[in-house]
Amino acid sequence: MNALEILKKTRVEVAPETFALVSLSEESWTKLLENPELSPRMTAPFMIFKDRYETTLLLDEIDFEKIRYAVLNAKTERNFRLLTFDIELDFSVVGFLAEITRILAEREISIVALSAFSRDHLLVKQTDLAKALKILGEYVEELC
């Protein structure tokens, strides 16, 4: 099956929460790690990704407000909605996320792409959510 055929069998879920992306310096990240009460609640999706340039956090607005005072100098971007492509993807699948991003890019929808072990996800600004869902609805089996 090619990527478009797989997309056609996919269910897209929209998380009810609104999310923030936070870029932390090494110093800020270390400060957060030293304070366990600033950890995510574990009841909403979250992500931590560390590369050699920064540590990036994806937090829902409740968890973001909890750490906000501790990361005043962090770069943040808020008001994202999380879309999950609810189909388990094998590692042999080629171009699934590329097709999704192409479809949305052609309609000028900006996204942040995220991948978990078996599923892909997108962050879309709240202001673009309705338009993105309408567009994706033409390509997927179900929108939730």
In this prediction, residue 69 carries a pLDDT of: 85
In this prediction, residue 71 carries a pLDDT of: 85
- Taking residue 117's Cβ as centre, other Cβ atoms within 10 Å add up to 7
What mean pLDDT, rounded, does the chain reach?
92
In this prediction, residue 87 carries a pLDDT of: 93
Whether residue 57 has pLDDT greater than 90: yes
Whether residue 39 has pLDDT greater than 90: no
pLDDT-derived band at 31, boundaries 50, 70, 90: confident
Domains of the chain plus CATH, in order, are: 3-16+80-143 (3.30.2130.10), 19-78 (3.30.70.260)
- Taking residue 125's Cβ as centre, other Cβ atoms within 10 Å add up to 16
Nearest to 83 by CA among 70, 95, 66, 100: 100
pLDDT, mean of residues 80-105: 94
SS3 content of the chain, % helix, strand, coil (to 5): 35, 30, 35
